[in-house]
């Protein structure tokens, strides 16, 4: 079986859904499992719904209606008339969403978040599955929440591999096009969980691992894995082949083409990963597999914006030792700040972090009791793998460098502004 993952950009409108059909016609669809994300910016739109729900805003019904209108237009563009059963199926999902908004009693933001955002994937896969059936490709729509079981760490759930393996290996049908949702799972109480933002790649890897799949293909709007994000760097080059190790390094530092969790289960069973273009599906793209060196050793640029640079120093000029650092990292873990760079001296400790849950204000209150805390918001972190002088100059030119760290193969540069 092959596993394909289509992200939100590939199914953002009716044309995108039709293109998925065209891609499958060209590359084959028998014995394939499709993992599909929410359409376009639906997750963002549902986050607005969540905000309005907690704010008890009068705009709640309007924000729900915006999500409805968006999907209804796609339905009208895809199907000949509104008598198709897909309209009933999507209407039922929106009824479930509205029922939850009306009857939920839990004040837990993360729990509510997962229950609401999950409708993006449920709706997108329902529409895509019905369209494939409409066009003559028989599909099996499966609810991923019955397959991927997790703990109850909402918004960043950990997979229960034993239960998940059993569910997938027993119940996924072969020799048919399976359609399921990325990003989602469920806990032991069958409440919906999510695997972390952009977790659909990880979903594809989970299914591939449990099915001993032939391969995983992530379909993107780029030709494959590039050595730099074309939005920020001119003349970005395609990497034809890279090793699992190099891909994991790139993902660790924040390359957005491949989700950081995706590669580990694939590497364990040596399942090749392909990153290919849904615009030109017959192009080779990038292959990620065992024992293949990065070809060639081009500098690879990774950009992470909206970072937070925190500098801690001892109030009494004493050394910052292992005990202090251990305590600091325990707090970072507790407040869910992702650390992307570390630099320390005898009496100071600096980290560049990602505060995706907006927890730094609370953390700062605790840190300030023991340390002098300085911080810079909205900094940019550049990582250069296989750096050279020209690559370094490309990043630093016209920017204010406030921190730099160099190892054998990797340079990281924090800048406070882009001019």
C-beta neighbour count of 109 within 10 angstroms: 14
Residue 80 is predicted with a pLDDT of 84
Residue 43 assigned as binding residue: yes
Residue 297 assigned as binding residue: no
Residue 7 assigned as binding residue: yes
Q: Quick check: bond before 233 cis, omega within 30?
A: no
User: Where are the alpha helices (H) located in 135-262, listed in sequence order?
Assistant: 161-171, 200-211, 244-253
User: Where are the alpha helices (H) located in 273-375, listed in sequence order?
Assistant: 322-334, 360-367
Distance CA 259, CA 273 (A): 12
Distance CA 398, CA 136 (A): 55
* Helix, strand, or coil (residue 337): coil
Residue 320 is predicted with a pLDDT of 81
Residue 294 is predicted with a pLDDT of 60
Residue 295 is predicted with a pLDDT of 61
Residue entry with tokens 């950081």: 260
Residue spans of the domains in the chain: they are 2-213, 300-418
Distance CA 27, CA 96 (A): 36
Torsion of CA 326, 330, 335, 337, to 10 degrees: 50
C-beta neighbour count of 417 within 10 angstroms: 11
Residue 139 assigned as binding residue: no
Residue 192 exposed, middle or buried by CB count within 10 Å (0-12, 13-18, 19+): buried
Distance CA 357, CA 349 (A): 22
Distance CA 363, CA 372 (A): 13
Let me know if the fold of 2-213 is the same as that of 300-418. no
Residue 6 assigned as binding residue: yes
Q: Which two tokens stand for residue 262?
A: 């995706």
Nearest Cα residue to 190 out of 152, 161, 141, 157: 152
Q: What is the strand order of the sheet 286-289 is part of?
A: 139-141, 177-181, 32-36, 2-6, 215-220, 273-277, 286-289, 241-243
Distance CA 318, CA 121 (A): 52
Instruction: Sort strands 348-354 and 2-6 into parallel, antiparallel or unpaired.
Output: unpaired
| CA 216, 219, 223, 227 torsion-angle sign | negative
Instruction: Sort strands 371-385 and 300-314 into parallel, antiparallel or unpaired.
Output: antiparallel
**Residue ranges in the chain whose pLDDT is less than 70:** 197-198, 292-296, 417-419
Distance CA 306, CA 323 (A): 29
| Phi, psi for 73 (deg, rounded to 5) | -65, -40
Residue 134 exposed, middle or buried by CB count within 10 Å (0-12, 13-18, 19+): middle
CATH topology of domain 2-213: Carbamate kinase (3.40.1160)
Query: Are 225 and 257 spatial neighbours (Cβ–Cβ below 8 Å)?
Result: yes
| pTM for the predicted model, two decimal places | 0.86
Identify the CATH assignment for 300-418 out of 3.30.70.580, 1.20.58.220, 3.30.2130.10, 3.50.50.60. 3.30.2130.10
Residue 197 is predicted with a pLDDT of 66
């Amino acid at each position: 079986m092959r596993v394909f993952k289509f992200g939100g950009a590939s199914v953002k409108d009716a044309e995108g859904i039709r293109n998925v059909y065209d891609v499958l016609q060209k590359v084959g669809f028998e014995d394939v499992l499709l993992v599909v994300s929410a359409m376009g910016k639906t997750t963002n739109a549902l986050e607005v719904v969540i905000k309005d729900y907690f704010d008890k805003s009068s705009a709640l019904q309007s924000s729900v209606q915006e999500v409805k209108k968006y999907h209804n237009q796609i339905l009208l563009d895809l199907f000949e008339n509104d008598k198709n059963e897909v309209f009933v199926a999507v209407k039922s999902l929106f009824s479930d969403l509205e029922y939850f908004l009306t009857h939920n009693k839990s004040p837990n933001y993360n729990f509510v978040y997962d229950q609401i955002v999950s409708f993006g994937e449920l709706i997108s896969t329902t529409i895509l599955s019905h369209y494939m059936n409409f066009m003559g490709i028989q599909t099996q729509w499966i609810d991923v929440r019955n397959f991927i079981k997790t703990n109850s760490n909402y918004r960043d759930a950990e997979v229960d591999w034993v239960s998940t393996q059993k569910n997938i290996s027993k119940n996924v049908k072969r020799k048919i096009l399976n359609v399921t949702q990325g990003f989602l799972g469920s806990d032991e109480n069958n409440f919906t969980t999510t695997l972390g933002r952009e977790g659909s790649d990880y979903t594809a890897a989970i299914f591939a691992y449990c099915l001993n799949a032939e391969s995983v293909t992530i379909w993107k709007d780029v030709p494959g894995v590039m050595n730099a994000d074309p939005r920020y760097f001119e003349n970005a080059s395609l990497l034809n082949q890279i090793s699992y190790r190099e891909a994991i390094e790139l993902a660790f530092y924040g390359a957005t083409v491949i989700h950081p969790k995706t590669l580990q289960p694939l590497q364990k069973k040596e399942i090749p990963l392909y990153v290919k273009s849904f615009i030109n599906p017959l192009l080779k793209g990038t292959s990620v597999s065992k024992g293949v060196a990065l070809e060639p050793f081009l500098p690879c640029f990774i950009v992470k914006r909206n970072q937070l640079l925190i500098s801690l120093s001892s109030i009494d000029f004493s050394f910052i030792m292992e005990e202090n650092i251990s305590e600091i990292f325990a707090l970072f873990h507790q407040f869910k700040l992702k650390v992307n760079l570390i630099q320390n001296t005898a009496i100071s400790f600096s980290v560049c972090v990602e505060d995706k849950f907006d927890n730094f204000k609370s953390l700062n209150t605790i840190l300030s009791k023991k340390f002098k805390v300085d911080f810079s918001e909205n900094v940019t972190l550049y990582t250069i793998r296989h750096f050279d002088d020209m690559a370094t100059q490309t990043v630093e030119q016209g920017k204010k460098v406030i921190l730099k760290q160099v190892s054998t193969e990797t340079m990281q540069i924090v800048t406070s502004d882009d001019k």
